[in-house]
């Protein structure tokens, strides 16, 4: 792509005018003069594709004549296409068509990037246009540009953080106000944090898509959503949150991307999303409401922390508009942003190979020798115990006890085999809860 000396406005097409799209439209209109100064040419919104053109959108301050239901036609007459429809189709087809017609694309669509990012990159390469997607992970937080560009000279070892605002909001409300799960999800929806179908948030699909994007960029390896071990928060109970509180911990949904040595000693990539207990003293524990925070550990840089608003209309629009300015500058001055980098092509490790720690709560018979049998189950699987806490529980029938065990680090395979062995022990009445523990 070469810069053109023209002073004609750059034509911007917006696909979607929901939570994020309406913020983008409003801010583009409000700050048009600043954008023109920053880019060197005005940006002109040439159309906004919507599904329901008759809807009242007067609050956006956008000229109603810009709304169209002809998204396919709109993408053929733009220099920059901003896709904020979400989902796989028609978003993918529209992006590919936009690129084929010479437009650079800015998207917030993590679901599409995690499912079929390579196709988008290939089209951008073929048509010599830009593909930017800072808003797709951790909303407003500048995170992908640092990984794609600023850290391109370093060796990233680990990326760990909170990348889903909805689930963080829900877990925070459960911890601090005792709110019920469904009420907290409804509040997150009303605040514009949740995906169109909040199952994507609650069951960890959204965080898994983001983890795939982060791991791909961090480790120069193609990682798609299906490579990510995913557990959501729908099984996190008020009792789990209370158990965490007793341990001076909080429960967070974490995305963890690591470069680790596999059994053969060769490096591989481990990518997982699951709830975990973290100590209240850990910086991630202080991440409240819909905020996101991500730590990046790189060989030369050491540890970096990125923190800010991970969801919501205006914060997400900030990231999108930063990308719009970047690709617009390329249009004016020449050059292109980075393409896909997959040269490392590392193998993806299984969840069983991931190294983690478990917190277990067991309901056991209160008899002599119980503790020894429980300890043997751990030892048999090579899992070392860090702490054990026993509490006698009176109730109807035979006296029982609750055992809370926290392990040292072991492979997830060994830990989960230990849980199976414990559940099969006659002295164990039930395994009440199992949760991974992260953070020192």
Ligand X SMILES: NC(=O)C1=CN([C@@H]2O[C@H](COP(=O)(O)OP(=O)(O)OC[C@H]3O[C@@H](n4cnc5c(N)ncnc54)[C@H](O)[C@@H]3O)[C@@H](O)[C@H]2O)C=CC1
Q: What positions carry a catalytic annotation?
A: 210
Pairing status of strand 229-230 against strand 131-132: unpaired
Say if CB 161 and CB 292 are below 8 A apart.
Answer: yes
Which of 311, 321, 435, 437 touches ligand LTNE7NMQ (CB under 6 A)?
Answer: 311
397 annotated binding-site participant: no
Nearer to Na ion, 132 or 378 (CB): 132
- Confirm or reject binding of residue 143 to Na ion (CB under 5 A): yes
> Which range touches ligand LTNE7NMQ (CB under 6 A), out of 92-100, 125-133, 152-160, 192-200?
192-200
- Confirm or reject binding of residue 206 to ligand LTNE7NMQ (CB under 6 A): yes
- Confirm or reject binding of residue 354 to Na ion (CB under 5 A): no
Nearer to Na ion, 103 or 144 (CB): 144
Radius of gyration for the chain, computed over Cα atoms and rounded to the nearest angstrom: 24
Pairing status of strand 10-15 against strand 80-83: parallel
What is the rounded CA–CA span in Å between residue 406 and residue 419?
12
What is the smallest separation between the CB atom of 92 and ligand X, expressed in angstroms?
12
**Residues 6 or more apart whose Cβ sits within 8 Å of residue 145:** 134, 322
Binding region for ligand X (CB under 6 A):
15-21, 49-51, 71, 84-86, 90, 108-110, 135, 139, 192-193, 195-196, 311-312, 316
> Which range touches ligand LTNE7NMQ (CB under 6 A), out of 175-183, 190-198, 350-358, 431-439?
190-198
**Partner interacting with residue 19 (select from ligand X, Na ion, ligand LTNE7NMQ, none; CB below 5-8 Å by kind):** ligand X
Omega before residue 183 within 30° of 0, cis: no
Tally the C-alpha atoms within 13 A of residue 340's C-alpha that lie toward its C-beta: 22
What is the smallest separation between the CB atom of 114 and ligand LTNE7NMQ, expressed in angstroms?
12
Nearer to ligand X, 172 or 258 (CB): 172
- Confirm or reject binding of residue 195 to ligand LTNE7NMQ (CB under 6 A): yes
- Confirm or reject binding of residue 323 to ligand LTNE7NMQ (CB under 6 A): no
**Partner interacting with residue 400 (select from Na ion, ligand X, ligand LTNE7NMQ, none; CB below 5-8 Å by kind):** none
**Partner interacting with residue 134 (select from ligand X, Na ion, ligand LTNE7NMQ, none; CB below 5-8 Å by kind):** Na ion
What is the smallest separation between the CB atom of 294 and Na ion, expressed in angstroms?
9
**Within 78-137, which residues bind Na ion (CB under 5 A)?**
134
21 annotated binding-site participant: yes
Cα torsion at 162, 309, 200, 340 (round to 10°)?
-80
- Confirm or reject binding of residue 291 to ligand LTNE7NMQ (CB under 6 A): no
Q: What is the 3-state secondary structure (H, E, C) of 343-412?
A: CCCCCECCHHHCEEEEEEEEEEECCCCHHHHHHHHHHHCCCCEEEEEEEEECCCCCCEEEEEEEECCEEH
Residue-by-residue DSSP string for 42-111:
-EEEEEEE-S-TTS--GGGT--GGGEES-HHHHGGG-SEEEE-S-SSTTHHHHHHHHHHTT-EEEE--HH
111-128 CB burial, b ≥16 within 10 A, e <16: bbbbbbbeebbbbbeebe
What is the smallest separation between the CB atom of 310 and ligand LTNE7NMQ, expressed in angstroms?
5
């Amino acid at each position: 792509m070469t810069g053109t000396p023209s002073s004609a406005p750059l034509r911007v097409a917006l696909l979607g005018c929901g939570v994020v799209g309406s913020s983008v439209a409003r801010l583009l209109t409000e700050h048009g003069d600043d954008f023109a100064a920053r880019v060197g040419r005005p940006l002109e919104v040439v159309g906004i594709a919507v599904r329901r053109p008759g809807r009242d959108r007067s609050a956006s301050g956008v000229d109603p004549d810009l709304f169209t239901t002809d998204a396919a036609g709109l993408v053929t007459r733009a220099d920059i296409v901003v896709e904020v429809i979400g989902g796989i189709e028609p978003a993918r087809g529209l992006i590919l068509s936009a690129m084929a017609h010479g437009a650079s694309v800015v998207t917030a669509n993590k679901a599409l990037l995690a499912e079929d990012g390579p196709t988008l990159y290939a089209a951008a390469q073929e048509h010599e246009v830009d593909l930017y997607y800072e808003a797709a992970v951790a909303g407003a937080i500048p995170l992908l540009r640092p990984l794609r560009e600023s850290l391109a000279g370093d060796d990233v070892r680990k990326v760990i953080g909170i990348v889903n605002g909805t689930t963080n909001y829900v877990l925070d409300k459960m911890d601090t106000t005792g709110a019920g799960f469904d009420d907290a999800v409804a509040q997150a929806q009303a605040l514009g944090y949740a995906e169109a179908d909040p199952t994507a948030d609650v069951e960890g699909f959204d965080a898994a898509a983001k983890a795939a994007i982060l791991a791909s960029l961090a480790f120069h390896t193609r990682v798609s959503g299906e490579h990510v071990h995913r557990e959501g928060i729908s099984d996190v109970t008020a009792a789990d949150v209370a158990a965490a509180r007793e341990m001076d911990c909080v429960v967070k949904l974490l995305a963890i991307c690591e470069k680790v040595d596999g059994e053969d000693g060769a490096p591989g990539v481990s990518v997982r999303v699951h709830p975990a207990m973290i100590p209240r003293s850990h910086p991630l524990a202080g991440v409240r409401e819909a905020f996101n925070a991500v730590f990046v550990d790189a060989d030369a840089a050491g540890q970096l922390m990125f923190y800010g608003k991970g969801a919501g209309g205006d914060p997400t629009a900030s990231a999108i508009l930063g990308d719009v300015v970047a690709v617009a500058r390329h249009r004016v001055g020449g050059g292109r942003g980075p393409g896909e980098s997959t040269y490392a092509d590392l193998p993806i490790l299984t969840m069983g190979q991931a190294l983690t720690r478990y917190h277990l709560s067991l309901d056991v018979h209160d008899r002599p020798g119980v503790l020894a049998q429980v300890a043997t189950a751990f030892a048999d699987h090579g899992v070392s115990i860090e702490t054990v806490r026993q509490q006698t529980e009176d109730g109807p029938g035979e006296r029982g006890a609750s055992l809370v065990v926290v392990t040292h680090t072991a492979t997830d395979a060994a830990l989960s085999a230990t849980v199976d062995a414990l559940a099969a022990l006659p002295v164990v009445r039930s395994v009440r809860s199992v949760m991974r523990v992260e953070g020192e």
